[in-house]
């Protein structure tokens, strides 16, 4: 009986070690989203997840999309359809950056190229803007390194979701998310401090009047609810 008791203890210890060793890896894999070299965000549910060896890791699908990644084509429609059943906002409702003309340059890089005041410098594969000259609409500061800039949605996606976009079809949400009229290259810190805040809660350090007018123009263009928005003139003397 004594021998059997020791055997049970030994087996139990071995099982604990094996579980700790082999159980940790799957949890790590499931919690990582891989941004592939082609700019696609793959969660552990993706059939290509295990095949991707060169990638940038993210802690969530939303973080990957916010960094400029996009969903696999077969998942865009599926996720959007499922998410519309819920009233809770999720970045994937809007599909991420798209490559509308299939030239390998997604919306982020199209906007950077369009708004650079000099001819932009592209990556070797011609897909990503590396350098240029951008004047921040929020501060007036001049930037030349594209990696230091975020592309801000003037009307934030989450704000739009709460003011009518939750009722839009998938195609309209994707169009809104990728509309250059609603996109500005600005300092990453300002974009992230703004988050999902509307006009009542956030204004840029400079050009407040122009920002408010643009915000109103986009809201009216897409038919979003303006009931809690003061006139843009209210911001012009701030």
Lowest-pLDDT range, 3-12, 29-38, 110-119?
A: 3-12
Confidence check: pLDDT of 212 > 50: yes
Return phi, psi of residue 198, to 5°: -95, -170
Query: How many Cβ atoms from other residues are within 10 Å of residue 206's Cβ?
Result: 14
> What token pair was written down for 228?
């809690």
Inter-axis angle of helices 73-83 and 170-177, to 10 degrees?
A: 110
Query: How many Cβ atoms from other residues are within 10 Å of residue 85's Cβ?
Result: 6
216-226 mean pLDDT: 95
- Tell whether 155 is covered by a domain: yes
What's the whole-number average pLDDT of the chain? 83
For residue range 144-189, list pLDDT tens digits in order: 999 999 999 999 999 999 999 999 999 999 999 999 999 999 999 9
Lowest-pLDDT range, 25-29, 159-163, 174-178, 200-204?
A: 25-29
Confidence check: pLDDT of 235 > 90: no
- Tell whether 186 is covered by a domain: yes
- Tell whether 192 is covered by a domain: yes
- Tell whether 211 is covered by a domain: yes
Residue-level pLDDT at 170: 93
- Tell whether 42 is covered by a domain: no
Residue-level pLDDT at 20: 43
Confidence check: pLDDT of 50 > 90: no
The domain tally of the chain equals 1
- Tell whether 139 is covered by a domain: yes
141 is in which domain, residue-wise? 100-238
For residue range 59-118, list pLDDT tens digits in order: 777 777 777 777 776 555 444 444 444 468 899 999 999 999 999 999 999 999 999 999
CB 202 within 8 A of CB 136: no
- Tell whether 51 is covered by a domain: no
- Tell whether 168 is covered by a domain: yes
% pLDDT > 70, the chain: 80
Residue-level pLDDT at 71: 77
């Amino acid at each position: 009986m004594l021998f059997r008791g020791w055997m049970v203890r030994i087996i139990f210890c071995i099982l604990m070690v094996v579980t700790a060793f082999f159980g940790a890896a799957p949890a790590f894999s499931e919690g990582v989203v891989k941004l592939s070299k082609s700019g696609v965000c793959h969660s552990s549910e993706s059939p290509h997840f295990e095949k991707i060896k060169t990638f940038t890791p993210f802690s969530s699908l939303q973080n990957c999309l916010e960094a400029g990644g996009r969903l696999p084509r077969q998942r865009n429609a599926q996720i959007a359809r499922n998410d519309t059943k819920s009233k809770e906002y999720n970045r994937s409702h809007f599909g991420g950056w798209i490559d509308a003309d299939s030239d390998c340059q997604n919306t982020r890089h199209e906007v950077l190229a369009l708004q650079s005041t000099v001819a932009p410098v592209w990556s070797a594969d011609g897909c990503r803007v590396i350098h240029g000259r951008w004047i921040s609409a929020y501060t007036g500061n001049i930037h030349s390194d594209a990696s230091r800039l975020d592309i801000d949605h003037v009307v934030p996606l989450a704000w739009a979701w709460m003011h009518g976009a939750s009722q839009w079809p998938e195609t309209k949400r994707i169009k809104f998310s990728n509309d250059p009229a609603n996109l500005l290259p600005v300092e990453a810190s300002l974009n992230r401090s703004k988050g999902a805040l509307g006009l009542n809660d956030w204004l840029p350090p400079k050009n407040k009047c122009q920002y408010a007018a643009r915000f109103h123009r986009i809201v009216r263009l897409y038919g979003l609810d303006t009931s809690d928005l003061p006139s843009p003139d209210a911001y012009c003397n701030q």
